[in-house]
Amino acid sequence: MRANYETVTGYGESEIIISKSRFLTFIDRVETEQQALDFINNIKKKHYQATHNCSAYLIGEHDTIQKANDDGEPSGTAGVPMLEVLKKQGLKDVVVVVTRYFGGIKLGSGGLIRAYGKATTEGIKAAGVVARRKHRIVRVTADYTWLGKLENEIRNSTYTLRDIVYAENVELIVATTEEEKDTFADWITELTNGQALTVFEEIEFVEFPLT
C-alpha cells in the first residue's frame, strides 16, 4: 500500500479577476489519467467559448503521471505554473483546469505565471485539502451491555469510530494507527474486563481535513 499522502477533498471551483480577465478554476481528485482527461474535456465542453482552458494533473504515489497544457497561452506560462503549485503543496492525484476569459489587457509572461498560479491556489482552497493516513481497522465485538461505555470512550479518544454493527452482539468498527493497534487492544480489554473480542482487519486510508 502506498505511503500517507495529501490530496484535495473533492471537487471545487473558484473565480478571480485579474486586469479584467476572468480566471475560473475547476479542481478534483482523480485516480487515473483517463479520469483526469475526462474532467478536462468536460470543462472544455462547458467553456468552449473561453479564450483558454489550461490544465495540469498529478497522478500516482511518486507523481508517475504528470502533465501540463498551456492551451494557447505562451509556452510555460500556464500549465507548468499550475503543476508547480500542486507539487509545492505536496498534493497527489489531482487535476486542475483554469479557464480564462480574456479581458482585453495583456499580462505578459510574468503576469500570466502569477495569475495561473494564484488561480490554482484559490481552487485548492475552495476544494479543501485532506491528509490520507494509513490506519488498521479493528472490529470490537461485545455484549450489548458494553455498548454505551465502549461507544462513549472511543468517541472521546484519539481513535476513530467508523461504524457500529447491530448483530447478535454489537460490533464497533474502529480505525487506529498501526503503531497504536496493540495499545488499543489492551485498552479495550481493560475497559471491558476482558469481555470484548478484538480482531484486527485490513489497513485502510482514513481522511483528516487540513483546510
- Classify 5-127 by CATH class: alpha beta
Q: Greatest CA separation found in the chain? A: 74
The CATH 3.30.230.30 portion of the chain extends over: 5-127
Neighbour tally for 18: CB within 10 Å: 18
Q: Report yes or no on whether pTM surpasses 0.75.
A: yes
Nearest alpha carbon to residue 103 among 201, 44, 199, 16: 16
**Do residues 95 and 11 lie in contact, with contact meaning Cβ atoms separated by under 8 Å?**
no
d(CA 191, CA 64) in angstroms, rounded, equals 46
Tell me yes or no: is domain 133-209 CATH 3.30.70.240.
Answer: yes
The CATH 3.30.70.240 portion of the chain extends over: 133-209
Nearest alpha carbon to residue 19 among 110, 91, 135, 85: 110
pLDDT per residue rounded down to tens, the chain (211 residues): 889 999 999 999 999 999 999 999 999 999 999 999 999 999 999 999 999 999 999 999 999 999 999 999 999 999 999 999 999 999 999 999 999 999 999 999 999 999 999 999 999 999 999 999 999 999 999 999 999 999 999 999 999 999 999 999 999 999 999 999 999 999 999 999 999 999 999 999 999 999 6
